Amino acid sequence: MIYLHKKSAKKKKGGRWNALILVFSLVLLLLFGSAIAFYFTFLFDLPRLTTLKDYQPYIVSEVFSDDEVLIGEFFVERRMVAPLSQMPRLLIRAFIAAEDARFFKHRGIDYWRILGAAFRNIEAFDVVQGGSTITQQIAKSFFLTPERSFTRKVKEAILAQRIERYLTKNEILYLYLNQIYLGEGAFGVAAAAKTYFGKPVQNLTLAECAVLAGLPPAPNNLSPLRHPKKARERQLYVLNRMVERKMITQKQAQRAAAEEIRLRPKGPKGYNEAPYAIEQVRMYVEEKYGKEKLYKGGLKIYTTISYKMQQAAQAAVLKGLEEFEAREGKGKGRDQVQGALIALDPQTGYILAMVGGRDFSASQFNRATQARRHAGSAFKPVVYAAALDRGFTPATIIVDEPFSYIDVPGKEPWEPQNFDREFWGPITFRKALTFSRNVATVKIAQAIGVDYLVEYAKNLGIKSKLEPNLSLALGAANVSLLELTSSFGVFAAQGYRAEPILITRIVDKDGNILEEIEPSAVEVISPQTSYLITSLMQSVIQDGTGQKARALGRPAAGKTGTTNDTRDAWFIGFIPQRLVAGAWMGYDIEKPLGTHETGAVAALPIWLEFMKEAVAEIPVENFSVPEGIVFVRVDAATGEPVRPGNPTKSGNAISECFKEGTTPLTN
């Protein structure tokens, strides 16, 4: 009986074990099934990798000067894409050494690195090292959110393994080095090279490569611009890692560590030198091609801006404003005096320099192109050129005497006054412009007709609305500095008008030319008229209101301009064929500059300062005399011809220029 009882107990015990095994197996099966379901749920939810083959990141659009100096950028993310072939081999090695030393050995996940990072974090009681590979960083950057969670890490691991099967190692490196954020708004190594060192990525030294490779863990906190000491520590860490991995020698590391790093905290050469011109570019491209193309499309926009002349223009305007403030005893305030300058090639219309104000960051309003101000006496050459085409000559006599004109019946007559409140009596056409006599100019405008004058001005390129009344002769019309300067360019280009051009070419990221703008010019007045008005404006500089411009030391022609109550000061001038420039000074709220602040005092010095730098390398030339121009010796005061051997009434004979067939007759 006892035997039978023991046998039954054993049988009972075996049944329990079988039940436990069955339960355990079911649990394992359930866990395994859940894991598979969990895995496939992730797989179902994971994004497709096809976008990696067709990498289309947001790329910076760049703006270049005429000599291809980078002067501006448009971007959402400041990214420049570069192929691996353009990246220094040492740059690639530096990133691998710092971020993923076993990159070429693992298949997306480095288990040894994860284990090592775990031990280091336990030792430090903190997260001091991560275990993510470069491939995992690609997965996170392209497809996942930055949240820290178990779910995200699992997705990251699965994606990394799939990426390794889908792409080559070089393709992964290409994506990583162009996608990674490296601080100061720079995405990718090419943008970082420009941001920190002001150079193309292919020109980086080993020392610079190590600085960039040290940034990924905390780009802004390790930025050499903000935290040079921390950046230095990371640089040395990267160099040591490269030595440990036999990527460089100890001597190479020592030389790199001793190299002086030259940072470019203000951006590449030329960057932000022409903010008002860059804003003009932005408005044009955004309107024509849209924001998406401008800010994300990686366009290359080539402009007519001369880097050297732009620098000279910026410096000249600021110096002129500072000198004005010193003279008038006025300093910084809400309503500071403003200045503007525009320079063009008169034959092509290319805008070579543009300054629209004293500080673009304070005011984006472009006073060279957007402001419409009274031109004052700077408009007078338009009047005199129109008169030359209506039978006047430089020797024509105009009587400078009191003059009144009833513009509107029933109202008080208009009585224009000269600046000095005096009248000189009979004077020559040349003398009237040389000394900017208001009354004589109004009489000339009355003689040729204001409707004719309006059309003549439009023909020269002045697009602003001009009211057909006699006050137009004294510059009562509101015009922009650009259009007035461009109209003077017709005289400099011997009668040809060229439309102002700022952009010459726009190229997309693939090298396709979207737009190419060629200069074009049309003859609007005769070369003879151009020469005569130029000769008259040479007298303005040699003997008249623009004498300060003689300091340029070469042939030049120009005209000062001062409006009523000295609210605006102008000077527009040019040299033969090559360059025409206009300078303006005034307040935005149109209050007087000061009793003595004329165009000659306030604006001309800005023009002169700019021109001295701008023409330094341009050969000295004389204004060429076209066919159809003859010279006759005349009395400077009366305009009458002087016979050989006979004295003049004024005692001063000059060689005057005329169109053939218009010379004065001898008595």
Catalytic residue list:
99, 377
**For residues 422 and 401, what is the distance between their CA atoms, to the nearest angstrom?**
9
N-term to C-term CA, the chain: 169
**For residues 586 and 566, what is the distance between their CA atoms, to the nearest angstrom?**
9
Contact 539, 434 (CB under 8 A): yes
Instruction: State the burial class of residue 622 (Cβ atoms within 10 Å of its Cβ: 0-12, 13-18, 19+).
Output: exposed
User: E strands of 405-528, at which residues?
Assistant: 425-428, 478-479, 496-498, 503-507, 513-516, 521-523
CA atoms within 13 A on the CB side of 661: 6
The token pair at 403 is 């003059």
**For residues 369 and 365, what is the distance between their CA atoms, to the nearest angstrom?**
9
User: Exposure pattern of 22-60 as b/e (b: 16+ CB <10 Å)?
Assistant: eeeeeeeeeeeeeeeeeeeeeeeeeeebeebeeeebbbb
According to DSSP, the β-strands at 186-187 and 78-79 are parallel
**For residues 598 and 562, what is the distance between their CA atoms, to the nearest angstrom?**
5
**For residues 59 and 82, what is the distance between their CA atoms, to the nearest angstrom?**
11
**For residues 62 and 303, what is the distance between their CA atoms, to the nearest angstrom?**
11
The token pair at 303 is 């402009």
**For residues 343 and 325, what is the distance between their CA atoms, to the nearest angstrom?**
24
**To the nearest 5 percent, what fractions of the chain are helix, strand and coil?**
45, 15, 40
Place of tokens 């033969």: 576
- Which positions ≥6 away from 545 have C-beta within 8 Å? 377, 434, 435, 436, 559, 560, 598, 599, 600
Q: Is 570 helix (H, G, I), strand (E, B) or coil?
A: strand
Q: Counting runs of H as helices and runs of E as strands, what totals does the chain give?
A: 21, 20
Residue 523: C-alpha distances to residues 47, 475, 494, 557 (Å): 63, 25, 8, 20
Contact 61, 73 (CB under 8 A): yes
**For residues 442 and 387, what is the distance between their CA atoms, to the nearest angstrom?**
11
Q: Give the number of other CB atoms < 10 A from CB of residue 527.
A: 18
